[in-house]
Structures are given as structure tokens and as C-alpha cells.
Structure 1
Amino acid sequence: EEWQWKRTLSYWIAVTFFSGSLFFSFSSFLMCWPETLGCLEELMTTGGYVAGKVNFFICTYLMCLETINLTNAAHLKGHKNRRQSPTDIDSGDDAASIASSASSDSLDSLDGQRFKWWPFHIRTALRNLDTLGAGPWPYVASAIYFVGVLTFGVGLVPDFVSMPKQVAHWIGTIAFLFGSIFFTVGGFAECIENKVFFTFNLSTGYIGAALNTIGGIGFLVGAILGFWPELGFQSCFAYGVGSLIFASGSAAMIIMWKDEQF
């Protein structure tokens, strides 16, 4: 079947997740050898991190919107854009795939209802998922990832605001630590949703959830090592490895989108 590129939320979630992972990976590895970059150091490191954060922000924001704007009718009426049934949900796909299952090719509305743009319509999201029998985990994972991205953004403030070096170090280190914790917890939420801890099912969603969790752990290792400036190389390398693993997980999302499972 020919791969038809569509301007859908699910497509952009997968692509921005993949792009953000690559930006973050390249910048992390390049930061291991900053002296070799010369005048391009700031562009290739901080610039790459900013680009990665922008992509991650778009990805996680859209993940939240998709879950919030799920419509029961789109699933139960055999809507032409339906990606999967409630039984498919039970079989295990990643958080974003559940959220994307009811997406249409426009952002105007879903099943005649007003599209909600605020990512923290928690009760709406949980009510929709409960109606579908999917449980709360798709939105929980999406929201945790989104908060993690916002937290990482705080860590970049010292790169643009003048402040004492010691203050900048602690703001960046602590923000990256909590951002990494959120990413790891988000991965665990995906694993719970996909029953990674209780079953062995090498579906695309199962593998993607496992990879995202491992990627989050890589970030967490890098954040912890960042508390010791002399371990800067190891910290950046851990971030780079974690980002590559995230890229692998997002590649699984693209495959699922191609197969209309996402």
C-alpha cells in the first residue's frame, strides 16, 4: 500500500517526536567535544537543544489534544477515520497511538464538537477514555511528557538570561533532573498501558513504549551525572544515547502511522 502523507495530528506527533530526538541527540554528542566546534559551538549545542525542545513541545502538546478531543462517536459509529477499536486498545499500543485513533484530517472539529486547545482538560480526557474502555494511561502519559518538556524548557533559561554562573548551573541541572524524571515516569505510564511489565508481546506499540522508557532512563542518568561538572562528558553522552533510543521509539510511531495503527 502506498504511503500517503497526510497533515494529521498523529502524523505530526510522530514526526516532531522523531525530529526532536535527533536534534537532542546530535547536540548532546557534539557537547561531548565542544572545543572542536569553534565558533559554531553555541549554534550546534544550545541551538540544537532549543530545536529539539520545540519539536518535543509540539509533539507532547498534540498528544494531549488528541486524547482530550477523542469522541466516542468516532469509534462506535465506524467513523471513516477510525484507527482502532476498543479491543485494539486492550491489545496494547503506545500512549500517543490511543490518543491519535480518532484523529481527522483537520483540526477544526471532531464529530461536530468544538475542538479544545487547552492541554489540561483532565476530566474531559479521562471521561472520553473511560467511555472507550481505554483507561486513563494514554492521557496520563501524554500529560506527564508535556510537563517534562516544560520543565526542560526552564533549564534552558540560563542560556538566554544573564545570571551568576553558579545560579545558572543549578537552575539547569535541577530542571533537567526533574524533566528527565517526568520523561521516565511517562515511559512507565506507556509501559503500564501496553502491559510491558506483565506480558511479552513484540507489537510495535509494545516495543515503542519500552524504548521510550529506556530513553527516559538514559536522560535520567545524564541528569544525575550533570550534578558533577567533571562528569560533563559522561552526562552529555548519556543524554545522546537516551535521545537515540527515543528516536527509535518515535520511528516505531511512524511505522504505526504508515500502517494506520496510529
Structure 2
Amino acid sequence: MFEDITPEALAAEVLFLRAQAPESSIVLLEGDSDVRLFENLLDVDISNFVNCFGKENVLLTIEMVDEGGLRGVLAIVDADFAAILGTVYASQNVVQSDFHDFEVVLFNSTALDRLLTEDGSREKIKKVQETNSVREVLINSCLHLGCLRLYSQKTASNLKFKGMRYRFLGRKLEVQIDEIIKEVFDHSRKHTGHDDAKKFINNFSFSTVDPNQLVCGHDLIAALGVALQSLIGSRNAVHCAAPELESKLRLGFSREEFSKTRTYADIRAWEHRTVPFRVLH
């Protein structure tokens, strides 16, 4: 099935949608979770969202659409490490998340506060907040892993992070660099490169970057799930699974908060450039 999801096939789908609705905007997204998020934030018919199953497919598809001169097609992608690496997209039809990905955007909204009120322990959260905010604790627990993700991208190491068990996350979110590297390299079935990765992390200037551009939303959600079982709550593991937590964050994210993001401003600018096509309410 996934072998059939090529940029060529996706571009053909865009052409079909345009033929069906010549005046409707079409939005390219990276995956299912993005479709569920933006279905509630944008004024676009669900049939005009195209799940491209990955950022690379989104960018290659919009490139083909641009070359074909088709207007009214917008690509929305995760920023990933764009702010750190200085990545610039050639197409004016691409907008990106304010932070590393849209999960990090949700994490920095009041959606997290609502989730903590519902699922967290008031007493435990109060104790944590004597030294740091819950957000800071969770972000700090994921910084080194985010840096390892950056290392993998910069060195083309092709480390595998999807499906990781996050065993290195202790009950109090106290993490060790060696344990992170070992788990990721074991998960990736790589037996060499540990020292280079550790050197990269140890030499990285964390103070020079915005942590929200470095950490990955999936890692934050995993850390949140662990924290809700002990550090800031007493939830059972079954209720702290990533899909459930991500769903709660999406549901708690309002259009009003979305309207204050840079992504929203960039989409509004896109609408002005692409009259009469619109995607915002």
C-alpha cells in the first residue's frame, strides 16, 4: 500500500481534487495526526486534505504542483530543525510549525495545562513547581535526545527513533546521555558511532538555541506519559499511551490560540498572495 504513495500519485490526487472543486483550497499534510488537528482549525472540506505520509512526500508533491502551475495548494509541515539549521523552502506554498513540530506547539499551549488539571496530581505538580515548571522539566528530559536526533540528521547516520521504548526515562525523568545513546543505537541496530554521538551532544551549545526548536513532540509526549505515572500523577500506564495524550492535547487546542501562532500568520499571508483561495475561518 505505502509503496503506491509516491509524490507522483499524490500530485495526481491533487489534480483530481482540483478538477472536482476548481475554487477550493487543497492542503497537503504529513500524517493522520496533522489531518485530525487541522480539520478543526481550518475552513477546508475534509476531502481536500491530502495525507502525504511524510514530510519528504509533502515537499516533493508541492514542488511538482508548483511546476504544473496549479494555484490554491498549501503545504503545512513540521519545522523540524529548520530554525537551527537555517533551512529555507523554495516554494511560497509551504508554511511550517512555530516550533520543532506541531506537538511541541500544542505542548506550549493551554492544552497542556488542561490535561494536567484533568490527569495530574495537584500535590505532586505543586512539589515539582517549587524548582521548575512542569513544561521545563519535561523539555529538559528530552533535550539530549533531541540533540541526538539532530546529530543523526547532520551526519546522515540514519538512526531510528520510531517505535523506541524510552527505557532511559526514569520515574523522575532523570536521564543519562550514555543510556539514551545506547537505547537509540540498539534500536537502530548500530554497533559503532556511540563516542561520536556523545561528543556531539557534549559539545553542543544548548544555550544558543530555543529548546522548543530542538525537542521532538513525540519525545515530549513519551516523557509526559512517564511523568503522569509517578512524578506529577498516579495514572496507570494504559491511560498514558501517546495516542491518548496527543488526542487530549489536540482537543484542548483552540482556534483562538492557533490564531496567535506564526503558522496562522503565514497562512494568512499565503491567502493574500493566492486570492481567491482561502483556508482560514
Identify the TM-score tier after normalising by the shorter chain: under 0.3
Normalising by structure 2, report the TM-score: 0.22
Larger radius of gyration: 2
Normalising by structure 1, report the TM-score: 0.23
Q: Name the one with the larger helix percent.
A: 1
